[in-house]
Amino acid sequence: MSDVFVSYARSSEEEASRVERALRDRGYGVWRDSELPAHRSYADVIEERLKAAKAVVVLWSQEATKSHWVRAEADTAREAGTLVQASVDGAIPPMPFNQIQCAALKGWSGESEHAGWEKLLGSVESLVKDAANIDRKPKARSTRKTSICILPFANMSGDAEQEYFSDGISEDITTDLSKVSALEVIARNTAFQFKGQSLDIGDVASKLGVTHVLEGSVRKAGNRVRITAQLIDGATGGHVWAERYDRDLTDIFAIQDEISKSIVEALKVNLLPSEKKAIEQRGTTDVEAYKLYLLARQYWITGNHGDPRREERVMRICSRAVQTDPSYAQAWALLAIAQSNLRYNFARPVDDGFAAAHTALSIDPTVSEAHCVIARRLEERGLHSEAEAEVEKALRISPDSWEVNKEAGRLWRLHGDHARATRHYEKAVEVMDSDFHAWALLVTFYQAQGNQEKVRHAAEKMVSEAGKAIEQDPSNGAALGIIAGGYAVLGEPDRVREWIDRAMLIDPDNLNMTYNFACVLSAHVGDYDQAIALLDRSLSVGGETTLHMAETDPDFNAIRDDPRFRKIIERERKRHGIGKPAVATPPNPPAAS
């Protein structure tokens, strides 16, 4: 990778070329967008090169100060501590970059003795030298002798809809190898940050401090599947083991077992008898049920949160999965979660998932997500301590479960314990970095703490992760709503209005989106009339859960004493047959520790 990344607006291409030549003459590797490959996504390459650069030189000009691309690249470098600024036409960098030293290159024609150039060069030399010193230090290694990262297997099926299958294979192999006590396995979320990137395996191993990396691909066509897998030594880049499997789809479980066992053998780690048995255990032996479950969970993770069609779709797919294999506990648990959400979030007259959850637990008592559904029923019936006990039980079984931590965060948030809610939402994004909903909730809690650095980071994650979701589904109302909220926190009101208008045209009935817009307008924009109107709209179609959230949501502190807000809350409590509020809401939430 190059030492220096050069960011500039198109009108400054001549100056950018001059800077590039001068840096190359000094022996630095330089990258700018003239080297973009034709076969890869522009955004992906830019992000990859920005992260790899030891110094990012931003050439400000009148045009650059108005460029979203240049500002985004400068902001990424600022956060990473790699930013070097120069003005090529006398333009002053925009906020917040005007608070950082900026070299003056106006009139510079490439001469080495120029005050602005010397200032820029000195900063680049310092950053590249510091980075080189860091690179020479021994990488943090696992305390265990052997550690591995399972990169997400590439989907080679020629159909983006098959992504759920290749992702599922990667996750299952990760889960299998995590059962081996002599082996440390990098978490799924950390590995999936590299998805879709062109990678240097040595760089990945060095960055994560692992001894080995597994990469592979999946091609599924009809009833046939081809899986390739390569185990690579992180230090040498050499292949330790590689295999290709061309089989019937019915052999998918055997293939996964063979891959896991082959890796254990190749790494020469000890596999205890109980661990061998654990690897061989599957939630189902039915390939069709397995495919259906993977598909349902993909919809659950990436679907339009706030649109009941997500829940309905997951319920249909999981119902088919448990019809195919009635002993598939994970499918029963996911069915239960979808039913519970549809009942309590959308006030739909459906089963609340209690029966399906108990079915899952009767098959496999370790399916922690089923306890969340039981906790939800207890909470809705006012049995708060019992609900907490059920969530604690789920956390003891699966402390790293995304679903369990999301439910724990929701419960503690409702109970006014913002410190505990914060910890569980932080765990949720640690497990599933793409969870823009959890990032949005963390913004609220970090604001209550007064931690502006964390607020900004979480807001940037809201925008970036929701943006990725919209790339996959431009009609994702929840993501549209989160982006508007992110820009509000980042202080870009014009973009907030732009995204709200766009979202309301695309998905005006999205419960989660309209609720989020009410939060944004109340807490960040100060448009209290519109905030109350959207909250009224959201609560009038939502269930008790939405009402309870509004009663305890710090984003509504500014309008909580408004007679219109109180009238809406009283109306909804009456509609749901609820007496006094279950949880008293303080004027300001307690700071999270």
Cβ 360 vs Cβ 336: under 8 Å: yes
Q: Provide the pLDDT confidence category of residue 222 given band limits of 50, 70 and 90.
A: confident
Q: How far is CA 382 from CA 25, 389, 466, in A?
A: 72, 13, 34
What pLDDT does 38 receive?
A: 46
- Amino acid at the residue 407: E
What is the token pair recorded at 279?
């690897």
What per-residue string of b and e applies to 8-27 under the rule 16 or more CB within 10 Å gives b? bbeebeebbebbbebbeeee
Chain position carrying tokens 């990436």: 302
User: 151: helix, coil or strand?
Assistant: coil
Say if residue 1's pLDDT is above 60: no
User: 56: helix, coil or strand?
Assistant: strand
Closest to 475 measured CA to CA, from 441, 510, 440: 510
Mean residue pLDDT across the chain: 84
What is the token pair recorded at 99?
């608070």
Q: Work out the percent of the chain whose per-residue pLDDT is above 70.
A: 92
Closest to 373 measured CA to CA, from 401, 394, 350, 349: 394
d(CA 29, CA 46): 16
In tens, the pLDDT along 379-422 reads 989 899 999 999 999 999 888 888 999 999 999 988 888 889 99
What per-residue string of b and e applies to 29-43 under the rule 16 or more CB within 10 Å gives b? ebbbbeeeeeeeeee
Q: How far is CA 503 from CA 161, 307, 478, in A?
A: 25, 13, 9
| Residue 94: φ, ψ to 5° | -70, 165
d(CA 452, CA 447): 7
Closest to 548 measured CA to CA, from 512, 587, 510, 578: 578
Domains of the chain: 4-136 (3.40.50.10140), 147-282 (3.40.50.10610), 301-498 (1.25.40.10)
d(CA 192, CA 171): 10
Cβ 71 vs Cβ 19: under 8 Å: no
In tens, the pLDDT along 424-476 reads 999 998 888 888 989 989 998 998 888 889 999 999 999 998 888 888 788 88
Say if residue 512's pLDDT is above 60: yes
Closest to 315 measured CA to CA, from 297, 289, 290, 291: 297
Question: How many CB atoms sit inside 10 A of residue 453's CB?
Answer: 9
| Residue 41: φ, ψ to 5° | -65, 130
In tens, the pLDDT along 485-498 reads 889 888 888 888 88
d(CA 475, CA 211): 42
- Amino acid at the residue 336: A
User: 86: helix, coil or strand?
Assistant: strand
Closest to 63 measured CA to CA, from 117, 111, 16: 16
Q: Provide the pLDDT confidence category of residue 590 given band limits of 50, 70 and 90.
A: very low
In tens, the pLDDT along 298-336 reads 888 877 777 888 999 999 999 999 999 999 999 999 999
Within 64-200, residue ranges assigned H as helices are 68-80, 115-136, 163-178, 188-192
Question: How many CB atoms sit inside 10 A of residue 533's CB?
Answer: 17
Q: Both ends of the chain: CA-CA distance in Å?
A: 39
d(CA 21, CA 30): 9
d(CA 443, CA 523): 11
What is the token pair recorded at 272?
């205890």
What is the token pair recorded at 219?
């091609």
